[in-house]
Amino acid sequence: MGSDAGDATPSLDEVRWRIDAIDGELLALLDERAGLARAVAAAKQAAGDTGFGLRPGREALIVRKLVEAPRKAASDALVIRVWRELMADSLARQGPYHLTVWGGSNPARAVELTRLRFGVAPPMTVAATDREALAAAKTPWGVGVLGLVPDNAWWGRLLAEPRLKIFAALPCLERWGPQVAFAVAEVEVEPTGGDQTFWVTDSPKAAAAIIEALSADGVAAELVAEAGGLKLFALLGFYQAGDARLARAPGSLTGVIGAAPTQFDV
């Protein structure tokens, strides 16, 4: 098929022939990639590395690089869904990777967002309670996905679970809707160059007053949820738990409970 502006428009048969040829090339590359993923799993086992292989920071860097790459027709959504499936399949080959989802009054939306983010490779269980989902996130190779539900401060319990962290906010594209669920696991969260940090406080001050106090210290914040005497804020950027600016912020019971990449199309 020609590519010059003066070339004649290809026939439908020619277009279909090219699609068939590309499908064959894609299948060969997909098979090769799956084989390499298997080799990675074997190499890790040989080295005695049986820990959770999830690296959310690395995955985010890969996805962001792909989304920012020049393209003519493939949408961000298509690129993200294809590579999320590839990365999930690779991870599922390395250990007992599994998902537990709790969506409160809207479990179907939570399940949909979980599959968009983690693909179809890892098995999924729908939890009856938020506590069940958090408990599952503490099991080996477990990820819990929990929805943001009014009058439920499940995220506040992460203050007492320092190993359990929010590492993803769902969905990852603004065009898929506002972020209404979080993924939680015992993983390390790392800066990716475009992050939001999740911070909890028990300050009785109004959200606007807390945002103003943080802003005066150079921290941009947005209220995400409020329940049970606690407030959850998203801070623009990546903040460590011991950041002095957060230590000066309002509240006696406060803390960072994780971080996640901002939506890729914001």
Binned average pLDDT, 10 residues per bin, the chain of 266 residues = 62 93 96 90 84 94 95 95 95 94 94 96 97 97 96 97 97 95 97 97 98 98 97 98 95 97 90
Distance CA 228, CA 41 (A): 43
Predicted model pTM: 0.92
Q: What is the pLDDT of residue 2?
A: 47
83: Cβ contacts below 8 Å, ≥ 6 apart = 62, 63, 66
Q: What is the pLDDT of residue 69?
A: 95
Q: What is the pLDDT of residue 7?
A: 66
Distance CA 198, CA 178 (A): 16
Q: What is the pLDDT of residue 37?
A: 85
Q: What is the pLDDT of residue 6?
A: 52
